[in-house]
Amino acid sequence: MSSPEQPTKRITSSQFRVRLRARHLTGTLFVALAMIGTTIGVVLLAVLLFEVARDGVRFLSLDFLNSFPSRKPELAGFKSALWGSIWLITFTALWAFPLGVGAAIYLEEYASKNRVTSLIQINVSNLASVPSIVFGLLGLQLFVRGTVGIGPDFGGFGRSVLAGSLTLALLILPVVIVAAQEAIKAVPSSTREASYGLGATRWQTIQHHVLPQALPGIMTGTILAIARAIGETAPLIVLGAFTFVAFTPSGVLDSFTAMPIQIYSWTSRPQADFQDLAASGILVLLFVLLTMNTIAVFLRHRFGHLTKN
């Protein structure tokens, strides 16, 4: 903190009044500045959404959702990307949810306060800030190349839905864990003590009392984490996901494309028509994200009273 100024010279009250006016003026100017700063963020968001919507409406139609990509912009569609993302996200959730909740239960309910626990905890928060492209390299080496000679029919998982979803699951795992931990922490300890008092074991207490109370919070956090995974492009590109796919997956070992990858592929084409297609794709992607966020907010409000926060 700055050292207090030494009042070496006495000032008259009229001088004080002049200075006070200047001080208040500085304050008013600062409020204006802070408001402008805050408005910049809001305005930029509005401009971004407006621009995307303006470019994207041209190609947005049911045909767009129901056609495969094409070299002709007027025939091109988003079907393989949309279904690819749905497959990918379903399996990502399937891996990340049990693993994340399990880890959170361990850290909150089982782990004693020792070195190993704090190591795991620090590691979780560090992993959350590792660039997503690094997870892509991990997935490439571990799930695409590392499974060659082991995996299905010995060709490995390939650039499949399975490899992609496992990679994204590792990416969002720290976020799911932290959210689940917060939700479990918010369950009052009196609940646990009452259950123990009736002779329940630790797992019985967790299964019947802690988890049901924490579930809305866990779901909210998981949905937000999955929404993040839907928009991830870099790890999937590093994994080697294809940019031109004219089919929808019918199994976990099929190759795939995803919404952000298709958008990237259209954006990098120089023709304006393809960039408008990219904007249409972005509108679909943002709609999906908005829906998921709404569900998460709804869950938090609907069941918010069950937990402390």
Partner 1 sequence: MSTTAVVNPGRPQRFGHRRSQQFTERVIAAVLFGCAAVTVLTTVGIVVILFSEGLSFFREIHPVDFLTGTRWTPASGNFGVLPLILGTLMIAVGASFISIPVGTLSAIFLAEYASPKVRSIIKPILEVLAGIPTIVYGFFALTFITPLLRDSWLPDVGIFNALSAMIVVGIMTVPMVSSISDDSLRAVPESLREAAYGVGATKFEVITRVTFPSALSGIVASYILAISRAVGETMAVTVAAGATPHLTLNPLESVQTMTAYIVQVTQGEAPHGTIEFRTIFAIAMTLFAMTMIMNLLSARIVSKFRERYE
The 3-state DSSP composition of the chain as helix, strand, coil percent (nearest 5) reads 75, 0, 25
Measured from the CB atom, the residue of 233 and 307 that comes closer to partner 1 is 233
Considering only residues 40 through 59, tell me which ones interact with partner 1, judged by CB under 8 A: 40-42, 44-45, 47-48, 51-52, 55
**Does 94 participate in binding partner 1 (rule CB under 8 A)?**
no
**Does 11 participate in binding partner 1 (rule CB under 8 A)?**
no
Among 82, 89, 93, 105, binds partner 1 (CB under 8 A): 105
Cα(251)–Cα(243) distance, rounded to whole angstroms? 19
Shortest CB 127 distance to partner 1, Å: 6
Considering only residues 119 through 148, tell me which ones interact with partner 1, judged by CB under 8 A: 119-120, 123-127, 129-138, 140-142, 145
Cα(296)–Cα(228) distance, rounded to whole angstroms? 13
Considering only residues 233 through 292, tell me which ones interact with partner 1, judged by CB under 8 A: 233-234, 237-240, 260, 263-264, 267-268, 275, 278-279, 282, 285-286, 289
For residue 266, give the nearest of 80, 45, 137 by alpha carbon: 80
Q: Give the CA distances from residue 12 to residues 6, 15, 19, 131, 134, in Å, rounded to whole numbers and listed in that order.
A: 16, 5, 11, 60, 65
Amino acid of residue 225: A
Among 161, 163, 173, 245, binds partner 1 (CB under 8 A): 173
> Per the structure block, which two tokens stand in for 145?
């190349």
Shortest CB 250 distance to partner 1, Å: 26
Residue 3 is given by DSSP the state P
CA dihedral 276, 280, 286, 287 (to 10 degrees): 160
Measured from the CB atom, the residue of 149 and 251 that comes closer to partner 1 is 149
Shortest CB 289 distance to partner 1, Å: 7
Shortest CB 72 distance to partner 1, Å: 21
**Does 170 participate in binding partner 1 (rule CB under 8 A)?**
yes
Coil, helix or strand for 255?
strand
Among 27, 152, 155, 188, binds partner 1 (CB under 8 A): 27
